[in-house]
Structures are given as structure tokens and as C-alpha cells.
Structure 1
Amino acid sequence: MTRTGAALIAAATIFSFAGAPAHARDFPYCLQGGEWGYPGNCQFDSYQQCMVTASGTKAYCDVNPVFAFGAQRQQSQPEPRRYRR
């Protein structure tokens, strides 16, 4: 296989993966404080995972506000009003 052929196959592979959408997900815990700011690094499934990452730094772990308030917003939506004629 030539260099050009290998390059074309590599490019096609990269572009085929680039077209697939990433699944957005809100993780429940965020690493906050220090260099992370607010809401911080929100990629933790458990509080323990977050605390291990925060260990030895000036950061701390807290609930991801997007996760917490997003779930609350979905549950508390009122039903639409129905009008009689």
C-alpha cells in the first residue's frame, strides 16, 4: 500500500468517527475550587471518584448544579392547562 492510500484510509476513518454525535451526559458530581472555578470539572459518577481526584489539592467536590437542577426542572413541570369550549 502506498503512503497516499494509507493516508486516505486514515482520513476516511477519522471523518467517519467525527460524524458520530457524542452523547451528552450530566454527571452528578463536580470538582470545584482552586483552578476549577464554578461549576468546575463535572465528570464524576460518584462522590468517591471526585474526592480521590481532589485529594492533595485545594479543590473540593459538590453536586453538579446542571444535574441537580435539571432533574428538578423535569419533575416539576406543570401539566398544560386544558380549556373547555
Structure 2
Amino acid sequence: MKHPVLAALFVLLALPATARTIDLAFMPPKVEPQNICSPDSAGDPKDDMADQVGEGDLTDALRLQYLMHDIRVLQSQDPDRWFDFILTL
């Protein structure tokens, strides 16, 4: 045979591949059962506009701060879509 490398390659390809399989078990993580359907009875959830500093009402400066933040977010998302809405604010 003129090409011993090719002959060896054909012999290796003709032999069945002997490989072991790895046994893996894909299991979900263990999660503690919880009652997620009913709201928490600890009390009313805090309002989004609630003052983080204390129990008092929001001042006009804080309201403007929230509004300016929301306006910047809306402008960064899609200024053409939110133009009329921002104008009415």
C-alpha cells in the first residue's frame, strides 16, 4: 500500500467508537413552598410616590424631581411617541 496513513485512517474509521456516556440529572433547584397568590397581610404596600425620608407628604420640589426623572426616561425611550404626553405634563 502506498499510503499507510490513509489505510490507518480507514481502519480507525471502520472500528466502532467506544465511548462512555455520562449520567447527568438536570433537576430544578429546590424552592421553599410559598403562598404567592394572596397579598401579604403585613399592611398596605408603600405608594410609589411615598417620601423615603419620612412619613410626610411630598413637597412640590420632590414631585418635580419625580416628574423630571420620568420625563428624561420617556425622552430617552422614544421622544416622538411621548412628545404630546410630556407636553401635557
**TM, length-normalised to structure 1:** 0.27
Q: Which has the higher contact order (CA 8 A, sep 6+)?
A: 1
Q: TM-score, normalised by structure 2?
A: 0.26
Bigger Rg over Cα: 2
